[in-house]
């Protein structure tokens, strides 16, 4: 060893050991972040990715929102601007004329809900093989809740018209030049949009409660014997439910592998790719760096781990790597494959 190597050797090995320790700590920290996150999601029975995905912004927002459940066509039929133009009738118009005029704000959504409720009733009747008396009772329940929903919309039609007109006003404000150039105007638009979202959840929540009671009353028609023999009527899982399950189980796998150092590079790639998707759903230029800064740092940490042998340091890859190297090394003929 030369004098220069002797002079710098201690510093070199100290830094190398420190780098190894830091990479192990980084690997296990990110692993715990994913594993604990999956554990909390699994314990929370109300967990859904829909809330997060619905707030997506930026150029990929529509792609992220494409898989969201659309409650009876809510996004297509109700989350649409509708200008509340001056009523076409004169000042002494009959109440019925006003009612028909205001119905345009919700009538398509109302019809979609009733159609879906009818299909649910038919599926329940077939699944439990209801007799004639049960079918007659199911029709009565459907008619009652059809009328109840119509009465609810009739009572709240002014709010529904105001909600959709507010969406129209926001659209006009967002398209104006002053909104694009004045930060205060943009803040005002953001505030109005938050109020509109809160109003939307209120509107939907009231309808969802009526639907919950409707379904519960229909289910109660099944006798104890029918319920015992057939159990709960299965319903197809929505895309968001399948996505939620994928998120939970993939996070368990990623976190567990990083914690024990098993297939570390693959796990780090999965973690980094997931974080990249999260960042793209809310790019820094739309929400501010402070909202996604830690995720950007963690993403690069994942890719750093992927490019290093971090799993072979205090990890199971220490034992797995020699076996994989022996199994998949080039054979004497030059091709790559598992050797015997």
The token pair that represents 230 in the structure block: 């057939």
- What's the pLDDT at 340? 38
**Total-model pTM:** 0.60
Strand partners, 330: 336
Average pLDDT of the segment spanning 41-68: 80
pLDDT one-digit tens code per residue, 139-176: 999 999 999 999 999 888 888 888 888 888 888 877 77
Dmax over CA atoms of the chain, in Å, equals 104
pLDDT one-digit tens code per residue, 224-274: 999 888 888 887 777 778 888 899 999 999 999 999 999 999 999 999 999
pLDDT over threshold 80, residue 8: no
- What's the pLDDT at 327? 67
pLDDT over threshold 80, residue 77: yes
Query: Could you tell me if 28 and 260 are in contact, meaning their C-beta atoms sit under 8 angstroms apart?
Result: no
Q: At what angle do helices 3-43 and 239-260 cross, to 10 degrees?
A: 150
* pLDDT above 90: percentage of residues in the chain: 39
Average pLDDT of the segment spanning 193-202: 80
Average pLDDT of the segment spanning 100-121: 91
Average pLDDT of the segment spanning 83-88: 69
Q: How many CB atoms lie within 10 A of CB 53?
A: 17
- What's the pLDDT at 195? 81
Average pLDDT of the segment spanning 22-47: 91
Determine the Cα angle at 270 with ends 267 and 271, to 5°: 85
Q: Domain segments of the chain: what residues?
A: 3-49+239-327, 70-230
Cα 179 from Cα 135, distance rounded (Å): 57
Is residue 216 classed as helix, strand or coil in its secondary structure?
Answer: helix
């Amino acid at each position: 060893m030369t004098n220069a190597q002797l002079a710098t050797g201690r510093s070199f090995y100290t830094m190398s050991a420190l780098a190894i320790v830091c990479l192990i700590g980084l690997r296990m920290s990110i692993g715990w972040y994913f594993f604990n996150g999956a554990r909390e999601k699994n314990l929370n029975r109300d967990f859904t990715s829909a809330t997060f995905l619905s707030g997506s912004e930026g150029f990929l927002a529509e792609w992220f929102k494409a898989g969201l459940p659309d409650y009876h066509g809510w996004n297509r039929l109700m989350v649409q601007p509708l200008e509340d133009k001056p009523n076409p009738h004169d000042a002494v118009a009959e109440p019925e004329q006003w009612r028909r005029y205001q119905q345009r704000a919700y009538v398509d959504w109302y019809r979609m809900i009733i159609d879906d409720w009818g299909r649910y009733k038919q599926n329940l009747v077939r699944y439990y093989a209801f007799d004639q008396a049960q079918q007659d009772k199911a029709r009565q329940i459907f008619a009652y809740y059809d009328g109840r929903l119509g009465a609810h919309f009739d009572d709240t039609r002014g709010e529904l018209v105001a909600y959709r007109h507010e969406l129209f006003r926001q659209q006009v404000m967002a398209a104006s030049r002053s909104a694009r150039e004045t930060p205060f105007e943009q803040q005002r638009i953001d505030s109005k949009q938050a109020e509109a979202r809160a109003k939307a959840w209120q509107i939907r929540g009231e309808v969802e409660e009526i639907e919950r009671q409707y379904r519960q009353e229909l289910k109660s028609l099944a006798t104890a014997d029918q319920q015992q023999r057939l159990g709960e009527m299965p319903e197809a899982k929505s895309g968001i439910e399948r996505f939620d399950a994928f998120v939970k189980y993939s996070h368990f796998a990623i976190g567990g592998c990083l914690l024990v150092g098993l297939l570390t590079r693959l796990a780090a790639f999965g973690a980094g790719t997931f974080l990249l998707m999260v960042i793209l759903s809310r790019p820094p230029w739309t929400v501010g760096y402070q909202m996604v800064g830690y995720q950007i740092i963690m993403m690069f940490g994942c890719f750093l781990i992927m490019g290093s042998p971090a799993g072979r340091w205090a990890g199971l890859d220490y034992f797995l790597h020699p076996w994989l190297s022996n199994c998949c090394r080039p054979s004497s003929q030059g091709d790559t494959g598992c050797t015997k």
